[in-house]
């Protein structure tokens, strides 16, 4: 037994010795070989210049300011006279620099294993550096490097579209080697969506260095690939006009060609993206967060609202696809309906009733009872199925990040969301775009283009990446031409026939417009209410949102204009004037081929 134990100990001992010998003489050789190589060769990445963003006329929306960053030599002791002298020199040269912050940054990044200069100042503007450069460049502990800083000349006017760049975090650095070197990344808007394009590709230079890290020879060099510019469909002059037109009203306006080119997209109010480039102050961030009009929210794709009566064209088309011939019969409107033995009244907006109503009149006069009755014959599941196929309650696919889908509900959705069954009364209110219905303004603009052209398009803001055109995606959808014609005629009546809900604002334009207004309620109306207060008599946040969505010219659709005024009351009176001014501007600036 002792003999076997001795042999076992002997074998274990020599096994450990052999393993250790392998590790030291063979495996570690590769490690030390690479380490030695690093001691004689130094690879430095060359940062690319971020691409610029311009509008359709070449106006710069995102550009690069030229300046310099400042770095300090590593391995200086924290309290050494040399480090203190260098930092004091920088502060005396540029009084706005913070000595405490620079020392903190240096201490955090200083390490015996780090042989790179430590950046303590991200950006000094070119004019400010020019006078100081000759003197600072003679100090061996200071390294000055050319740098760029993002700047947005039009600020708030294009903030929700263009977005902004900011300092990258650890996750963003790990995901992208360019971001890791540059230290900046697109945080929102087109800057984020097209970050891979705009950031370019890193270059590099491999140098032969001495033991003191001094370059003695350039072994290899590759220039960075940069300036992948974006040209947009956006017209910044139109964008500015619309933004200023909103005045004190919060809301959204979208101008889009019927092929999906977005000419303007305003989310009002907005913010200055330049605040974020170097890191926003806590004071400015708090002001944005506490503003009740939510200027930081991109309402174009993140704002979800009940569509109200603007859904009625799509609802009628959904009825026609769900049940053949359903639109051939009129509905009688007495001002309300009831369900079964219930005394609950589902009211029409016209409490006196519309009488016998056909499809065209239902669109023109926005009769709620017409849609109530049709919805009971079709059911919520079919309604939801077809409305989603028309682009409502689904993402549009626009080239902006993190788009919201909204909600077009059905029985399955409610059970999953609330663990409750669907009630017949919910079908009724869904038929006029209320209840659980929530859509984004961009969805409504896209769906309006579908009604105008029978094509479901993908909205796109970018026109060209460098000189390569961005391809549009268009999906034709077939409808019964007779029903579609009647719906379009109803939309014509809305804007051009006395009694139409947008006649007052849209009937005297230089082009013939077709459209639909909508009032989306934000508070429920009690059954005990006999005479409802006028919208202007309600508290501001209890007033309904005001919609108008339009296309023009009526007989040759070229443009879609969709406007939402938050808590504006009535679409015709609140949103209509803004839409009218947009059409006047488009006409005056030659956008209509055959007005």
Domains of the chain by range and CATH?
A: 65-149 (3.30.1390), 236-285+296-588 (3.40.710.10)
DSSP tally for the chain: helices H, then strands E = 24, 23
Give the integer Cα–Cα distance in Å for 508 and 503: 9
Distance CA 420, CA 410 (A): 12
Cis peptide before 553 (omega within 30 of 0): yes
Nearest to 393 by CA among 401, 309, 403: 403
pLDDT (0 to 100) of residue 496: 97
433 three-state secondary structure: coil
Report how far apart, in Å, the C-alpha atoms of 301 and of each of 186, 253, 399, 400, 409 are. 18, 12, 11, 8, 19
Do 406 and 304 form a contact (C-beta atoms < 8 A)? yes
Q: How far apart are CA 429 and CA 468, in angstroms?
A: 46
Task: Give the Cα separation of 566 and 561 in Å (integer).
Answer: 16
Q: How far apart are CA 260 and CA 422, in angstroms?
A: 36
pLDDT reported for residue 181: 87
Picking from 310, 309, 361, 364, the residue whose alpha carbon sits closest to that of residue 332 is 361
Rounded-to-integer distance, Cα 440 and Cα 453, Å: 20
Q: What was the pLDDT predicted at 536?
A: 52
> Which 8-state DSSP code applies to residue 537?
G
Token readout for 509 is 């334009």
The pairing of strands 230-232 and 53-54 is parallel
> How far is Cα 445 from Cα 563, in angstroms, rounded to an integer?
9
Distances (CA, A) of 256 to 24, 550, 551: 69, 11, 9
**In angstroms, rounded to a whole number, what is the distance separating the alpha carbons of residues 490 and 366?**
9
Q: Could you tell me if 431 and 315 are in contact, meaning their C-beta atoms sit under 8 angstroms apart?
A: yes
Phi, psi for residue 207 in degrees, rounded to 5: -115, 150
In a 3-state reduction of DSSP, which class is residue 221?
strand
553's tokens: 């010219």
DSSP H/E element including 344: none
Q: Which residues contact 482 (CB under 8 A, 6 or more apart)?
A: none
3-state secondary structure of 460: strand
Q: How high is the pLDDT of residue 528?
A: 45
Exposed (0-12), middle (13-18) or buried (19+): which is 432, by Cβ within 10 Å? buried
Number of neighbours of residue 135 by Cβ within 10 angstroms? 11
Residue 549 belongs to what H/E stretch?
strand 545-552
Task: Decide: 433 and 306 in contact? Cβ < 8 Å.
Answer: yes
Distance CA 200, CA 437 (A): 42
Give the HSE-up count for residue 16: Cα atoms under 13 Å, Cβ half-sphere.
5
Going by C-beta distance under 8 Å and a sequence separation of 6 or more, which residues neighbour residue 553? 511, 512, 513, 592, 594, 595
Which two structure tokens, joined as six digits, stand for 375?
């919805």
Spatial distance between the Cα atoms of 251 and 270, rounded to a whole number of angstroms: 10
Burial of 94 (0-12, 13-18, 19+ CB in 10 A): middle
For 9-54, give the DSSP string: HHHHHHHHHHHHHHIIIIIHHHHHHHHHHHHHEEEEEEPPPPPPEE
Question: What's this model's pTM, rounded to 2 decimal places?
Answer: 0.85
Q: One digit per residue, pLDDT tens: the chain, 595 residues?
A: 666 777 777 777 777 777 777 666 665 556 555 545 555 677 778 888 899 999 999 999 999 998 999 999 998 888 888 999 999 999 999 999 988 889 999 988 888 888 788 888 888 888 989 889 999 989 999 999 888 899 999 999 999 999 999 988 899 999 998 888 888 999 999 999 999 999 988 888 887 766 656 666 667 888 888 668 999 999 999 999 999 999 889 999 999 999 999 999 999 999 999 999 888 888 999 999 998 889 999 999 999 999 999 999 999 999 999 999 999 999 999 999 999 888 899 999 888 999 999 999 999 999 999 999 999 999 999 999 999 999 999 999 999 999 999 999 999 999 999 999 999 999 999 999 999 999 999 999 999 999 999 999 999 999 998 888 988 889 999 999 999 999 999 999 999 999 899 999 999 999 999 999 999 776 544 444 444 445 554 554 567 899 999 999 999 999 999 999 998 777 678 899 999 999 999 999 999 976 4
């Amino acid at each position: 037994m002792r003999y076997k134990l001795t042999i076992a100990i002997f074998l274990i001992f020599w096994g450990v010795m052999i393993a250790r010998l392998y590790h030291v003489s063979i495996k570690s050789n590769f490690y030390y070989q690479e380490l030695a190589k690093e001691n004689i060769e130094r690879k430095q990445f060359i940062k690319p210049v971020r691409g610029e963003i311009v509008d359709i006329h070449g106006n710069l929306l995102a550009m690069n300011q030229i300046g310099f960053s400042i770095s300090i030599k590593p391995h200086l002791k924290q309290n050494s006279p040399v480090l203190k002298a260098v930092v004091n020199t920088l502060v005396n040269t540029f009084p706005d620099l913070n000595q405490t912050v620079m020392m903190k940054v240096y201490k955090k990044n200083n390490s015996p294993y780090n042989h790179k200069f430590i950046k303590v100042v991200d950006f000094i503007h070119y004019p400010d550096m020019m006078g100081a450069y000759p003197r600072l460049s003679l100090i061996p502990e200071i390294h000055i490097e050319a740098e760029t800083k993002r700047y947005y000349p039009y600020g708030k006017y294009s903030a929700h579209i263009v977005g902004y760049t900011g300092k990258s975090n650890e996750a963003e650095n790990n995901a992208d080697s360019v971001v890791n070197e540059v230290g900046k990344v697109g945080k929102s808007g087109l800057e984020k969506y097209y970050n891979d394009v705009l950031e370019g590709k890193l270059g590099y230079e491999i140098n032969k260095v001495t033991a003191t890290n001094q370059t003695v020879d350039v072994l290899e060099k590759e220039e960075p690939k940069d300036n992948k510019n974006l040209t947009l469909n956006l017209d910044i002059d139109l964008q500015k006009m619309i933004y200023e037109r909103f005045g004190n009203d919060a809301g959204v306006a979208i101008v889009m060609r019927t092929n999906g080119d977005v000419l303007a997209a305003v989310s009002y109010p907005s913010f200055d993206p330049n605040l974020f480039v170097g890191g926003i102050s806590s004071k400015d961030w708090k002001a944005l967060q506490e503003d009740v009009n939510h200027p930081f929210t991109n309402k174009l794709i993140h704002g979800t609202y009940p569509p109200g009566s603007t859904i009625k064209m799509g609802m009628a088309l959904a009825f026609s696809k769900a049940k053949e011939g359903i639109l051939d019969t009129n509905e009688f409107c007495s001002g309300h309906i009831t369900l079964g033995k219930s005394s609950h009244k589902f009211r029409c907006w016209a409490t006196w009733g519309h009488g016998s109503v056909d499809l065209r009149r239902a669109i023109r006069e926005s009769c709620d009872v017409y849609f109530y009755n049709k919805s009971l014959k079709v059911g919520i599941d079919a309604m939801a199925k077809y409305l989603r196929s028309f682009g409502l309650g689904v993402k549009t696919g626009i080239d902006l990040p993190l788009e919201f889908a909204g909600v077009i509900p059905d029985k399955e959705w409610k059970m999953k969301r609330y663990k409750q069954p669907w009630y017949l009364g919910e079908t009724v209110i869904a038929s006029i775009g209320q209840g659980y219905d929530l859509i984004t303004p961009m969805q409504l603009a896209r769906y309006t283009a579908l009604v105008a052209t029978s094509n479901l398009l993908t909205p796109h803001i970018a026109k060209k990446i460098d000189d390569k055109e961005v391809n549009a995606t268009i999906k034709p959808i077939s409808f019964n031409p007779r029903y579609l014609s009647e719906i379009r005629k109803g939309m014509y009546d809305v804007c051009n026939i006395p009694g139409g809900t947008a006649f007052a604002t849209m009937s005297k334009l230089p082009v013939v417009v077709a459209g639909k207004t909508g009032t989306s309620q934000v508070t429920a109306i009690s059954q005990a209410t006999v005479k409802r207060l006028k919208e202007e008599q309600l508290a501001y946040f209890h007033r309904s949102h005001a919609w108008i969505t339009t296309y023009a010219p009526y007989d040759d659709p070229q443009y879609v204009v969709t406007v939402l005024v938050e808590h504006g009351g009535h679409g015709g009176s609140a949103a209509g004037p803004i839409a009218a001014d947009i059409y006047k501007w488009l006409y005056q600036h030659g956008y209509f081929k055959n007005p």
